[in-house]
């Protein structure tokens, strides 16, 4: 069985105690830290998900996130931020977070995200190697979770990889936001797809601004270059 432990790093007592109570009532093994410094040592093999507040008294949550990601590439990291500015969110995702929630958030939404991340963590040992996917000069190997543009390997965060794999599998065709949320984030929840927007931006930074077309009100399409092999 995969471990499904949750580590909550949150200094706000009211938020932390509420979260611990509700996660515990759902049967999760949850531990809570009020400081960022001990988080690295505390995220052990039984930890599948870290819920990480960015505003911590002793450390920069972004820095903690980066160090967690480096130490544990397979860990799911969900950041909580009261700073709802795009830059903080981008910094968090760039530091390796898989997902984020802006405070104040609804408990039901947090629980849905937690379920999705833990389901994916449990399923992340894939059964059998798939053939690499190709679209133009982009190659995605789902078996090794590596991707290349031309001869250059792309440095992708977990959700960016999953999103790129889906878009490449459907290259030249429209992929709806609903389908992306379902297959990449494992949720039907479409209240806000800001996380998706941010990941699309990240892929455009790596593949070029015209590689992914926004289909307003529908979703996205990966463009296959005319000179593709
Ligand atoms: Ca805080």
116 CA to centre of ligand 1 in angstroms:
24
Local structure of 218: helix, strand or coil: coil
13 CA to centre of ligand 1 in angstroms:
9
26 CA to centre of ligand 1 in angstroms:
24
88 CA to centre of ligand 1 in angstroms:
14
Contact predicate 147/155, CB 8 Å: no
61 CA to centre of ligand 1 in angstroms:
9
Question: Cα–chain-centroid distance for residue 188?
Answer: 16
56 CA to centre of ligand 1 in angstroms:
5
pLDDT of residue 70: 87
Local structure of 51: helix, strand or coil: strand
48 CA to centre of ligand 1 in angstroms:
22
Count how many residues are written for the chain. 229
Q: Where are the chain's structural domains?
A: 5-122, 133-228
57 CA to centre of ligand 1 in angstroms:
7
52 CA to centre of ligand 1 in angstroms:
9
pLDDT beneath 50: ranges in the chain: 1-2, 125-129, 226-229
For the chain, helix, strand, coil in percent to 5 are 40, 25, 40
Contact predicate 80/51, CB 8 Å: yes
Residue with tokens 């000179």: 227
The structural architecture, per CATH, of the domain 5-122 is: 3-Layer(aba) Sandwich (3.40)
78 CA to centre of ligand 1 in angstroms:
14
Four-way CATH pick for 133-228: 2.30.30.30, 3.30.1050.10, 3.90.550.10, 1.10.10.10: 1.10.10.10
176 CA to centre of ligand 1 in angstroms:
35
How far is the C-alpha of 86 from the C-alpha of 89, rounded, in Å?
5
Tokens at 197, concatenated: 């927007």
């Amino acid at each position: 069985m995969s471990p499904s432990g949750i580590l909550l790093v949150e200094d706000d007592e009211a938020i932390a105690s509420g979260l611990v109570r509700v996660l515990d009532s759902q049967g999760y093994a949850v531990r809570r830290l009020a400081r960022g410094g001990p988080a690295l040592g505390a995220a052990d093999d039984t930890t599948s998900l870290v819920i990480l507040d960015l505003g911590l008294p002793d450390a920069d949550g972004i820095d903690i996130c980066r160090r967690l990601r480096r130490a544990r590439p397979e860990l799911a990291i969900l950041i909580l931020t009261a700073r709802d500015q795009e830059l903080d969110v981008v910094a968090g995702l760039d530091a390796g977070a898989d997902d984020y929630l802006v405070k104040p958030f609804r408990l039901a939404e947090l629980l849905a995200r937690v379920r999705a991340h833990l389901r994916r963590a449990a399923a992340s040992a894939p059964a059998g190697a798939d053939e690499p996917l190709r679209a133009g000069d982009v190659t995605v190997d789902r078996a090794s979770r590596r991707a290349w543009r031309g001869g250059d390997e792309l440095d992708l965060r977990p959700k960016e990889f999953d999103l790129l794999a889906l878009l490449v599998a459907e290259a030249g065709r429209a992929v709806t936001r609903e389908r992306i949320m379902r297959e990449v984030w494992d949720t039907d929840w479409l209240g806000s797809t800001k996380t998706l927007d941010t990941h699309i931006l990240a892929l455009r930074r790596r593949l070029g601004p015209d590689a992914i077309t926004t289909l307003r009100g529908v979703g996205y399409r990966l463009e296959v270059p005319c000179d593709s092999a």
